[in-house]
Copies of this chain bind each other. A is one copy, B any other.
Amino acid sequence: MPNPLPALLDAQQPDYCLEQPFYADAGIFESDIERIFGRRWLLVDHVARIPAKGAWFLYEIAGESIIVVRDAGERVNAFFNVCRHRGSRVCLESAGHAARLVCPYHAWTYGLDGRLVGARKMSKDFDKQQFGLRPCAVQVVAGLIFINLSGAAAMDFTAARTAITPYLDLHGIAEAKIAARAMYGVAANWKLVMENFLECYHCLPAHPEYCSVNSIVKLIGDGSERASMEYLQAWERWKAASDPDLLAREVALSGPADQGLDPQHPYSIPHAHGAAHSGPVYAAMRTLIGEGYQTMSEAGRPVAPLMGRFRRYDGGKTSVSVDYFGRMTAANDYAVLFKFIPVSAQFTNFEIIWLVRGDAVAGQDYDLPRLQWLWHVTTTQDKTLAENNQRGVNSRAYRPGPYSDLEDTPARFVRWYLQQIDPRLGGA
């Protein structure tokens, strides 16, 4: 059977959602894993998960298991969780602590740097150096751990790192602690989960809580010229009131206007930096939540101590993304990391990690239900939306429809995606 991808790619209408096989087919899912998740940088966790030397956790994606482990000092390493002897999983729990990584089957033993340091009764000409754990590339940026499954061939991360660091520093992410985490299993293709995340056309019909907090959404939902004007005026008032000394120059410069972003679409990915295959697509921006809301909470009141360089609750929020799959949204008092973890063609894990200031104490400085409220409620709704989307997409009657004016972000994502998987475009 010839590769059906070129024919499918040619059939794809611009600014329409994808043809059925892109959302449903197991073979295309394998391509996605190889050409996208196998090549791009992936946000896997916050460094607070592995505070000391020898601490490790497993990052599971599409049937793969990656050991992320802290080596001496600041160094974080990542390896495929596959013994080089007969292939057993080396680490079996979701997280742990060890001086060395010992395979439970035949006790082959690896250092925290992945080198094979012990293997009993091998033949005389056995060369340990050839049998270290297979490595992933790792980057730690202001407390966030990114890995790249392609290892030494990983695309350069410098530009993305440089661009997002000031935003993370502003929020004190490196010094944060993990307050909570939650995994949402979604019976839908990862691209349906992603498109759902990228647009707010569905917010008015489907997310009353989210709309009550983020007043911009109501304006987007209305969409009249008057509503647009009101939002711009609110945004200007908020900008004028913000502390000029607080924000470093480069953060201020990355504001929506300066990035050519339409302020009506503050959650949009800015125009991609870099071409499709030359490096990560990244974006960072800062904008207001909703007038009257100090943070992203049910009543708008703070839910945790101020983080980073903030000295007051200023009603702003910061969004950072690297290659779509690794995203952070932060208010003054907490941040959330979002992870999109494909499992199979029609199943995706969506994980949220809540961060607070490193010295905050649960039950005293913050209360988990209040902290988690907005994103738990909203994500539970999105899970249902994406699953019903998948069910309909699986129908023989499904035909892609056109994106609305409020869906330019998924439309851009789809263009980016099609470039990534087009075998005729090559790629790293």
Contacts and interface: CB of A to CB of B under 8 A. Distances in A.
Interface of A: 1, 17, 38, 63-65, 80-90, 92, 102, 104-107, 119-123, 126, 131, 134, 195, 201-202, 204-206, 223, 385, 388-389, 391-402, 404-406
A87 B392 contact: yes
B120 A396 contact: no
Contacts of A120: 201, 223, 404, 406
Nearest to A126: B402
Contact of A65 (B92, B106, B122, B391): B391
A406 B131 contact: no
A205 to B, nearest CB: 4
A194 to B, nearest CB: 13
Given A81-B395, A105-B388, A400 B205 contact: no
Nearest to A62: B396
Interface centre among A201, A392, A394, A400 (most CB of B within 10 A): A392
A105 B402 contact: no
A404 to B, nearest CB: 5
A299 B226 CA distance: 76
15 contacts: A63-B394, A65-B395, A80-B395, A80-B396, A82-B392, A82-B393, A82-B395, A87-B393, A87-B398, A88-B385, A89-B389, A104-B205, A105-B205, A105-B389, A107-B205
Contact of A392 (B88, B119, B204, B404): B88
B85 A397 contact: no
Given A64-B397, A87-B400, 12 more contacts: A64-B396, A81-B392, A81-B395, A82-B395, A82-B397, A84-B401, A86-B195, A89-B391, A107-B205, A119-B404, A120-B223, A123-B405
Contacts of A206: 104-105
A82 B395 CA distance: 7
B121 A201 contact: yes
Given A122-B402, A401-B86, A395 B105 contact: no
Nearest to A17: B86
Contacts of A389: 86-89, 105
Contacts of A205: 102, 104-107
Nearest to A403: B86
A2 to B, nearest CB: 12
Contact of A121 (B86, B87, B104, B406): B406
Nearest to A81: B392
Interface centre among A86, A88, A391, A398 (most CB of B within 10 A): A86
